[in-house]
Amino acid sequence: MMPLLTVRTTVILLVALVVGVLAGVLSYLADRSLPGAVLWGGGAAGAAVALFHSLIGRT
């Protein structure tokens, strides 16, 4: 049976989630704007996926 996600994909998405949450929290602490924090967190998570996809090697 094939797994739904590979280990590489899972690691990339997990690290991107952590980066996005941290960016969102820091943004919220800076200016107390929830919509702005969500936008910053989403942008950071998207950029992190692209970055870690290129950094973490394929087998």
In the chain, where the domains are located = 7-55
Burial tier of 51 (Cβ tally within 10 Å: 0-12, 13-18, 19+): middle
Query: Looking at residue 58, what is its pLDDT?
Result: 76
pLDDT for position 57: 83
pLDDT at 52 over 90: yes
Q: What's the confidence (pLDDT) of residue 22?
A: 98
pTM, entire model: 0.90
- The tens digit of pLDDT for each residue in 22-49 reads 999 999 999 999 999 999 999 999 999 9
Per-residue model confidence (pLDDT) at position 59:
61
